[in-house]
Structure 1
Amino acid sequence: TEALGALLYTEYLYPFEIAAVILLVAIIAAISLTLRKRPETKYQDPSKQVTVKKEHRLRIIKMEAEE
């Protein structure tokens, strides 16, 4: 492992650093894509869910059977 580390940080230093920068940019891009707010995205408001009453959720209607 010592020989691998010496080879990695001497002969392949620039390709190793370029790969690290590419991975860092990919991580930042993935985080920014997941955290952005889109106006067409639907979301739930927990405060409205807690304050709702059961009478406002479901209404049962009696209907005559069709033939």
Structure 2
Amino acid sequence: MNIELTERELRYLNRVVNVRLDELIERCARIRRIRSLEDIITSERFSIAESEIKVMKGVHDKIADALSDCNM
């Protein structure tokens, strides 16, 4: 799939992704502070948040690449 966005749209999307990444990283830090290894629900939430971070970092990298292409 190929989607074309303007530079302005890419910059907006980049800000949104950065905010979401910050939220996920904070959530992981909070869970890490309160979790016990026996708490399956908390461990599951932590795993989900870590997975979301990986996806968001991938999206962030793609946006950064697209923005650098715009600036060339």
TM beyond 0.5? no
Larger fraction in helix:
2
Larger Rg: 1
Higher RCO structure, 1 or 2 (CA under 8 Å, sep 6+): 2
Q: Normalization by structure 2: what TM-score? A: 0.40
